[in-house]
Structure 1
């Protein structure tokens, strides 16, 4: 998986205002042991020619909800993470338009700007559009030569889906797309990234007291055993550890909806 790093060092993404919830979600699933095994096996099948990177990625996305792109030459690139559109409302789905509902047109690829990646995920063409404010993800069903319409399901997350649709519309009109809707606040972002450090520290063999000393309050190193046992810092790091494990083992799917 991604290169090992010193868990004590704050994650580089801490000050990234363009960081989206899906960017953080892939950080949690990448620390899940079962996902790591599945992903390595997928890379192995692609290297042997038993499947394509697109097919392997589609399988991983169906199973885990989000995955790195399973291309050996681009393994573990967070900019190539793909999330299921039903789980991630900032993904846009385009499908052939119905007759008589408006002036629908084929997609003008020139208006999309820089395309970071193009892949076939199941029955969809998946495009990742590069944007300094946060990449956009488009799922296209059917031919690019046909008039297309955006699919906005009547269900959960209507405002996030509408915001994503507006963002794509602005891009297609040749104006700045603006920031994505599902971005964590600076406080929420910092907390979620700190929980990733908790997982990394635990994986590296750090004790709960070591985690608390680095991430909460260095003075706990000098506590007696009794003081540590009754301390607020011990209770907090235990809560953080439980939260981090829950996010790693499935709770990351909530992050895809900004929850």
Structure 2
């Protein structure tokens, strides 16, 4: 949760001193502000308070991006915590199927192999079958295993480059599974 300085025209806005934050677990300072972690039964609450926010009062910043709903839910939990109220259990939503969990694990292993310099054929041999090393060059070009490895690496790249956030929101349908 990002907390910035309140804009002018809000006279009742105030900052909350760190010592009065409920269940303060950790805080650290740098030149631009401080990071705060609060303990909660449903998971830690993390805040980033910009340096000049304490002087003008706090304003909670919710960028209008794809993750605004997640940020709003986090803000609501934080506001409930600050008010001394229970934050409540997370909403129940469908979890990843065992197949998709397995596919994610394979895709990250395939991505690791590629980034370590292994060829896609070597990745296929490690993940699926040793016989992949014996496939001829011509046979490899039309191999279903080659396409399967390529899809896994593509999924690994997407996860690494930001699609993993869909796992946090449980919007699994937005992930390109291959």
TMscore range, shorter length: 0.5 to 0.7
Q: TM-score, normalised by structure 1?
A: 0.45
Summarize the Cα distance change of 1:154–1:204 in structure 2 as closer, same or farther, 3 Å threshold.
Answer: closer
**Where does residue 120 of structure 2 map in the other structure?**
208
**RMSD of aligned alpha carbons:** 4.0
Is 1:139 paired with 2:48?
yes
Alignment of 1:66-215 (within 5 A): 91-96=1-6, 98-100=8-10, 104-109=13-18, 110-120=20-30, 123-129=32-38, 133-141=42-50, 142-144=52-54, 147-154=57-64, 156-178=66-88, 185-187=95-97, 191-215=103-127
Q: What is the CA-CA distance between 1:107 and the residue it aligns to?
A: 1.4
- From the superposition, tell whether residues 196 and 148 of structure 1 become closer, same or farther in structure 2 (CA, over 3 Å): same
Distance 1:132 1:209 in 2: 46
Higher relative contact order by CA 8 Å / sep ≥ 6: 1 or 2? 1
Q: Structure 1 residues 136 and 256 mapped into 2: Cα distance closer, same or farther (>3 Å)?
A: farther
Q: Larger radius of gyration, structure 1 or 2?
A: 2
Deviations 1:202-224 (A, max 9, x none): 34454434433554xx3x32365
> What residue ranges of structure 2 are gaps of 5+ in the alignment?
none
Report the Cα offset of residue 172 of structure 1. 1.1
In structure 1, what is the Cα distance between the partners aligned to 2:104 and 2:94?
9
| Structure 1: tracts of 5 or more residues without a match | 1-90
Task: Compute the TM-score of the two structures, normalised by the length of structure 2.
Answer: 0.60
- Aligned-pair distance for 1:168? 0.8
Whole-angstrom distance in 1 between the partners of 2:4 and 2:101: 30
